[in-house]
Structure 1
Amino acid sequence: MQTSTKSPEFHNVSEQITQSTVDSISQYASPAVWSDAEVRRVLNTGISLDKRVILLLASAEGRASQADLFPWLDHGVRSTFNKRLAEFHRKRFIETKAYGADVQLLPPGAEVAAK
């Protein structure tokens, strides 16, 4: 029994097209959010506080405690953070029950994260 070294899927495909296919699937895309066991960081420092909140929640499977979320932002002004969460709650981007509670990303907020 003789075996062929050519894959039947690429038998009639040029080397250039094959290389282009390999290159397109092997390109590294830098993540928007880096994380380890304790902290998450939005890597693009030019992103607004609002967008960082949404991206961090999205990266945490849509839910995080305010106690975790605030230090992840590395913002430093708790009152601004609280005002932004209240505004996001009014816009229905997030759901949160009270000060210090968990924050959950709602579908409108998830749409913002996807953009």
Structure 2
Amino acid sequence: MSISASINRIVSTFVAILQTRLELVTVELEEELIRFATYFVYTLIALFCAGVAISLGILLIIAVFWDEHRVAVLLSLIGVFSALSVFIAAWLRNQLINKPRLLEHSIAEIKKDAELLQFREQTNESEEQA
């Protein structure tokens, strides 16, 4: 086998690997975009529904206790919603810190390819020396 044939084969293999990895990157980006859009839409819907329910609930509670304990009820509601907001913010922060890295699978595949190519290079060198 000639050197030019070997070089052509190596180049074609490298181009095929690169094409596969770029396709993987594209698929991962598309999945991430769809996932983000879905989360965003459902979050907006949930926030709207929760806001309406909370507003109506607060009005009902205030109306029921208007004559007797309106200040205590308002302070209690403020405390509950403040605690909920702190809890949700902490949960969201934890989710953002622990989310998977962007393109994690693509990077892992590229690292495996690089290791495999280095192993093949070392094997070829040892065969040539023998």
TM-score by length of 2: 0.29
| Bigger radius of gyration | 2
The structure whose RCO (Cα within 8 Å, separation 6+) is larger is: 2
> Going by fraction, where is strand more abundant, 1 or 2?
1
The normalised TM-score by structure 1 is: 0.31
More helix per residue: 2
